[in-house]
C-alpha cells in the first residue's frame, strides 16, 4: 500500500510519519507545504501522478483560528481549495482520500453529542473554510473519508498541553475557560486510526466512505483538561508546583474568533461501522508528558 501524507510537519502528520516509519508493508511519501503547496493545483496533480498513491491523507490545514478572521483568502485557499485539488488528483489515479476536518464546522449550540448528519453551522472563518473543504472533497471524490476531530494535542507542534506547561513556568495563577466542552484527541491515536482506515480501504472494495467523527473521551471542559494536565505533570515532576487554576467564562476571555461551546462528537458511527473506539485521551496525555519530560531531563545532565 502506498500512502501520500500532506502537512507532515503538523501534529497528525508527524504522528503518521512516526507510525508509518515502523511499518514494512507501507510505502509512504510525506510532504510539508514547502515540498507541496496544496493550493497549487498543477503541482498537486503532478506529484500525485508521479507517486500514484493508493491513499492520500490530507493533514494540511490553516489552523490559526483567530488569524483566519483577517486572513480569509489564505484560510479558504488552504482549507477549501487545497482539499479540492487533492480530491481531483485522487480521482485521476483512482486513489482514496482521507481528509481531516474539525468540530468547528458546528456552532456548538446543540444539547448533546453532534452526529455526522447534524447540519453544520460554522461560527468562524476557520470553521467555515474547513466546512467548505469538506463539501468540496465529498462532492468531488466518491472515495473520500472525512474525519472530524477536536482539541488535538501531541508531542509535536503547538497545542493546549504545551501552552499550559509554558504558562505554568511564568505564572502562579492561570485562567482557563470552563464553559466549553469537548473531547481532547491524542494525535498519535488519530494517526493509528487513519492507518487502520487506510488498510480497510485498501482491502475492502465496498468500504463505506463518508463522514466520520473521532475524538477523545471522556468529554471535559478546557478547565478540567488543564487540571488533569497539571496533575499528571506534577506526578512526573515536569512541573515543581501545580499552579492555581481559575475558571473563566468564554465571554470574558479575549478571542477574535467565536468558539463552539459544545464540541462533543458522537462516535457511534465510526465504532459501529469500522469498530474504531474513542481515544482515551488521559492515556495519550501521559504519553505526551513522558515524551516531553525526556529532553528536560537530558538538559539537566
> Residue 164 domain-assigned?
no
Q: Any idea which residues carry the catalytic annotation?
A: 126
> Residue 174 domain-assigned?
no
Confidence of residue 243 (pLDDT cuts 50, 70, 90): very high
Q: Which three cell numbers stand for residue 14?
A: 508527524
For residue 14, is pLDDT > 60? Answer: yes
> Residue 170 domain-assigned?
no
Confidence of residue 295 (pLDDT cuts 50, 70, 90): low
22-76 residue pLDDT tens? 999 999 999 999 999 999 999 999 999 999 999 999 999 999 999 999 999 999 9
> Residue 226 domain-assigned?
no
Number of domains in the chain: 1
Place of cell 453544520: 120
Question: In angstroms, rounded to a whole number, what is the distance separating the alpha carbons of residues 120 and 138?
Answer: 14
- Provide the residue range defining the domain that includes 200: 2-157+184-218+266-281
pTM of the model: 0.95
Mean pLDDT of 108-137: 98
> For the domain that residue 36 is a member of, what is the CATH number?
3.40.50.720
> Residue 60 domain-assigned?
yes
- The pLDDT, as a whole number, for residue 294 is 60
SS3 153: strand
For residue 167, is pLDDT > 50? Answer: yes
**H-helix segments, 121-241:** 125-140, 160-170, 187-203, 222-235
- The pLDDT, as a whole number, for residue 35 is 97
> Residue 144 domain-assigned?
yes
Could you list the beta-strand ranges (E) of 88-154. Answer: 96-102, 144-149, 152-153
For residue 200, is pLDDT > 70? Answer: yes
Mean pLDDT of 144-167: 96
Q: Exposed, middle or buried by CB within 10 Å (0-12, 13-18, 19+), for 192?
A: middle
* Ramachandran class of 272: left when φ > 0, alpha when ψ lies in -120 to 50, beta otherwise: alpha
Average per-residue pLDDT for the chain: 95
> Residue 59 domain-assigned?
yes
Q: Exposed, middle or buried by CB within 10 Å (0-12, 13-18, 19+), for 202?
A: middle
Neighbours of 138 (CB within 10 A): 19
Helix (H) or strand (E) holding 246: strand 244-248
- The pLDDT, as a whole number, for residue 296 is 43
> Residue 78 domain-assigned?
yes
Amino acid at each position: 500500500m502506498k500512502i501520500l501524507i500532506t502537512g507532515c510537519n503538523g501534529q497528525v502528520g508527524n504522528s503518521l510519519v512516526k507510525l508509518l516509519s515502523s511499518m514494512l508493508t507501507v510505502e509512504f511519501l510525506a510532504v510539508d507545504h514547502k515540498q507541496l503547496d496544496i493550493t497549487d493545483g498543477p503541482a498537486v496533480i503532478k506529484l500525485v501522478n508521479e507517486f500514484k498513491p493508493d491513499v492520500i491523507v490530507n493533514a494540511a490545514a490553516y489552523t490559526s483560528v483567530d488569524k483566519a478572521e483577517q486572513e480569509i483568502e489564505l484560510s479558504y485557499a488552504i482549507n477549501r481549495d487545497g482539499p479540492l485539488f487533492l480530491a481531483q488528483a485522487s480521482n485521476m489515479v483512482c486513489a482514496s482520500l482521507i481528509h481531516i476536518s474539525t468540530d468547528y464546522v458546528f456552532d456548538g449550540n446543540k444539547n448533546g453529542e453532534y452526529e455526522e448528519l447534524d447540519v453544520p453551522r460554522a461560527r468562524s472563518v476557520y470553521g467555515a473554510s474547513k466546512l467548505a473543504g469538506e463539501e468540496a472533497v465529498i462532492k468531488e471524490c466518491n472515495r473520500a473519508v472525512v474525519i472530524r476531530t477536536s482539541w488535538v494535542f501531541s508531542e509535536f507542534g503547538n497545542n493546549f498541553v504545551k501552552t499550559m506547561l509554558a504558562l505554568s513556568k511564568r505564572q502562579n495563577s492561570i485562567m482557563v475557560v470552563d464553559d466549553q466542552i469537548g473531547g481532547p484527541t491524542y494525535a498519535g491515536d488519530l494517526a493509528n486510526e487513519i492507518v487502520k482506515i487506510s488498510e480497510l480501504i485498501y482491502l475492502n472494495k465496498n468500504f463505506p466512505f463518508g463522514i466520520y467523527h473521532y475524538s477523545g473521551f471522556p468529554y471535559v471542559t478546557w478547565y478540567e483538561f488543564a487540571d488533569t494536565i497539571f496533575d499528571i505533570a506534577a506526578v512526573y515532576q515536569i512541573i515543581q508546583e501545580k499552579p492555581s487554576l481559575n475558571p473563566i467564562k468564554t465571554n470574558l476571555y479575549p478571542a477574535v474568533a467565536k468558539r463552539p461551546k459544545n464540541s462533543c462528537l458522537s462516535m457511534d458511527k465510526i465504532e459501529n461501522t469500522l469498530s474504531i473506539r474513542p481515544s482515551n485521551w488521559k492515556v495519550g496525555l501521559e504519553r505526551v508528558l513522558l515524551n516531553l519530560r525526556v529532553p528536560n531531563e537530558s538538559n539537566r545532565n
